[in-house]
Amino acid sequence: MPSELLLHRGLVDATGARHRRVSLRPLGGHEEAALAEAVSLDGGAPDERTVHEVLAACIERLGGYRHVTAEHAAALTRGDRQRLALALRGIMLGDPLVLTLRCSSAACGELADLELHVSSLLGGGATEPDPEPQWWAVETPDGVLHVRAPTGADDEACAGLPGGTAQRAGVLWDRLLDVGDPPAAWADLAPVTQQLLARTLADSGTLPDLLFVSACPACGALLELELDPFQLLARELALGADRLLAEVHCLAFHYGWGEEAILALPRPRRWRYLELLRRQLESRPLT
C-alpha cells in the first residue's frame, strides 16, 4: 500500500491555503496499544481524541506541515479522516479486507464473507480529484445558507454533550452552518430547509462509500454493512494485543530494551528484529 494520500479537502490554514498531500508512516507500538485499548472486541469505536492523537503520530507530513498535532488532525473533515484510517489499515495489514457477516434472518443465521480491497475503498485514478469546497451555498426558503462538512473537532465537541442523539445533532448542525447575522439556530429553520441542507451534504461526496450490501449465500437475504474504518482498525489491532505484549517481552528479554523504546518501533522494525532473533536461536544465517 502507498504511504502517500491526497485528501479531498485537507487542512486549510489561516491564509486560506490548502494542505492536501499526506505522508504516512506505519503505526508504532504506542499507537497500536492506544487503539487496541480504546475499543472492545464486541463493538464500539475509539473516542475522537484517541483518533486524533493516533493520526497526528502517524502523519509524517501534511502539505507544508512537518509537525502535525492532534489539533491539526481534528481540523480534517470526517471523510478525510476516514480515508487516512483506511490507508493506515492498508499499510499495517495489507490491501485485502475480508469481513464476516451473519445473516439477520431468524430462520437462517448463516455466516457470509464479504471481500473488499482498501485500494478500491480509497478510490483514486489517473487524475487527482478537485479540492472539496469549504462551504456549499444552498438556496432554501430561509434564504441562501452555507454549510460545511463536519470535522474531527466538531465530532469531538459533540461527543461528550449530555442529552440524546437529537440534541447532539442539533448542536452539530449549529456548528456546520453559516446562516448570516444575526445567526439562526438549526432548530429555528423550516423542516424543508433542514432537508435541503442535509441532502446537500449527503450528495456532496465528502465521505468515502462505506455502505455495502451482499446476498446471504444460504438464503439469498440481503445483508447490509456500514464500515467504520477506525473501529475496524482498532478491533483488528485488539485481536493482536496479546501478540504485542509477547513481542515486547521477547525483545526486552533478549536485548534488554525498555518497554517505551520497544513500543516506539513501528511494527515492521519490531518484526525484523524478531526474525533475526529467531534465526539466531535456530543457528541459521542472519542474512
- DSSP conformation letters of 21-52: EEEE---BHHHHHHHHHTSBTTB----HHHHH
Rounded to the nearest 5°, which phi and psi values hold at 145?
Answer: -115, 155
At residue 9's C-alpha, the angle toward residues 185 and 119, to 5°, is 125
User: Tens-of-pLDDT digits for all 287 residues of the chain?
Assistant: 558 999 999 999 999 999 999 999 988 888 888 887 877 555 567 889 989 999 999 999 999 999 999 999 999 999 999 999 999 999 988 899 988 888 888 888 888 888 899 999 988 655 677 889 999 999 999 888 999 999 999 999 998 788 788 888 999 999 999 866 666 789 889 999 999 999 999 998 788 889 888 888 888 888 888 889 988 888 888 888 888 899 999 999 999 999 999 999 988 899 999 999 999 888 887 77
Residue spans per domain, the chain: 4-129+207-237, 136-202, 240-281
Q: What is the CA radius of gyration of the chain?
A: 22
The x, y and z cell numbers of residue 36, run together, are 487496541
Q: What share of the chain is helix, strand, coil (3-state, %, to 5)?
A: 45, 20, 35
Torsion of CA 178, 179, 185, 187, to 10 degrees: -100
Q: What is the C-alpha separation between 55 and 186, in angstroms, rounded?
A: 31
Distance between CA atoms of 246 and 241, rounded to whole angstroms?
Answer: 9
CA distance 24 to 264: 16
* DSSP for residue 228: -
What pTM does this model have? 0.85
Task: Write down how long the chain is.
Answer: 287
